[in-house]
Amino acid sequence: MPEAACRPRCHRRRTRACQNRAMAKFNLLLAGAIAALPSGCLQINVQGDPEAWAESMGMTAPLRVATYNTSLYDETSGGLVRRLESGDANARRIAAVLQRVRPDLVLLNEFDYDAQGRAADLFQQRYLEVAQAGGGEALRYPYRYLAPVNTGVPSGLDLDGNGEIGGTGRTSTGRNRGNDAWGYGLHPGQYGMLVLSRYPIDPAQVRTFQQLKWSALSGARRPVDPKTGKPWYPPAVWSQLRLSSKSHWDVPVRTPHGVVHLLAAHPTPPVFDGPEDRNGARNADELRLWQEYLSTAPGTPSWLCDDRGRCGGLAADARFVITGDLNNDPVDGDGRHEAILELLEHPRVARYATPRSEGAVEVAAKYAQAGLVRRGSPAHATGDFGPKAGTLRLDYVLPSVGFAVKGSGVFWPTAGDADAAIAGASDHHLVWVDLDARSP
């Protein structure tokens, strides 16, 4: 029986022959992926279920892709694991939102990374797979991807220019220890990322850019001290500084619509710095990395090399979805807005109606009454960041031109809506887009 015929028969009849074939293909894929990984990459956690793979490939509904900054982080190493073990109210509400929206593929930002994947296990088993108050039915993701990030990893360098390296934690006057990590964080893995999927992930083809040097980026925005006119970072620091504050991932997922490359990132906020605007420059260049990735031919010898040494960008015919809390609004708030606008207008990124919500409109109206006016559409905001910053559009799901957008939205109900009880676990709100492959 040809593979194309096997997949729907597995879904309808769950025949033993098809399941065995699915198991064999999955095992070959996993074995090849493990063999391809160098020993230094073994902290990467890819998990899957071959039987679920056999079933899922027969589905033809639109692919729902989402991004959600969950704020599931802790200031102590292992703190999120302990909270999830004891029962965490915010984690229950985050799970309830996911159960209501039910994305097929979702990136969770600000979900603390641990090498054993214990937090991911707990969130799946004790929260997603248990029907939550205000949520929907239990939700199971047979596949996931998580890997180390730069946040909280000591650099051994004085990155904030205060004359000291590291520190003991937060202080009343600064952020000491976190400021000298490769990405701000109080312990390795804080503010990590987690990909959950109903469809199989191809671990052998995953690409990460955690260690890519900022100085390697063509035309990098090197911060300048406005008082002296000299580079903010000394040459010895600049040559080592990593671009990604967390990481940039290309996670290929085998869906019924073909392979979809989930491009996941969480650039640094363009604030918490000084007049040199080093975080603003870094945020802009973290966004530009995706522009370069979409514009560089694969295999081309260049500066664009991943953590395994493979160089070049994404194939011209590859379908992708850029996801994440990108920490840059097109017109409002801090940040170099041209960076997000250039990404939105990239020729490989689809144009579609911006996801919106009525909850964002309601909150923005309250801020407007207090004198905080925004130029962007209030309905497009994805988070509420308090009376000084107001509402902003920071979270994005950007599909490639190879898809037709069938629907989209931001899970941000109004205050009077019953769903409001589960929507406030994070200062960000889940953004989702329904995608269908265009006819060839």
pLDDT of residue 397: 98
Q: Tell me how many degrees the CA angle 295-335-183 measures, rounded to the nearest 5.
A: 80
The secondary element (H helix, E strand) that includes residue 291 is helix 278-295
Residue-by-residue DSSP string for 13-26: H--HHHHHHHHHHH
The residue among 176, 153, 165, 183 whose CA lies nearest residue 279 is 183
Q: Report the C-alpha gap between 207 and 43 in whole angstroms.
A: 14
Dihedral over Cα of 83, 86, 89, 94: its sign: positive
pLDDT of residue 171: 46
pLDDT of residue 17: 38
Cα dist. 161→128, 157, 179 in Å? Answer: 43, 9, 9
The residue among 101, 11, 104, 106 whose CA lies nearest residue 62 is 104
Beta bridge partners of 66: 106, 432
C-beta separation of 346 from 263 below 8 A:
no
Q: Report the C-alpha gap between 194 and 51 in whole angstroms.
A: 22
pLDDT of residue 437: 84
CA 413 to chain centre: 23
> How do residues 317-354 score in pLDDT, each as one tens digit?
999 999 999 999 999 999 999 999 999 999 999 999 99
Residues of the chain with pLDDT under 70: 1-60, 167-176, 438-440
Which domains can be identified in the chain, with CATH numbers? Answer: 3-152+187-437 (3.60.10.10)
Burial category of 158 from C-beta neighbours within 10 Å (exposed 0-12, middle 13-18, buried 19 and up): middle
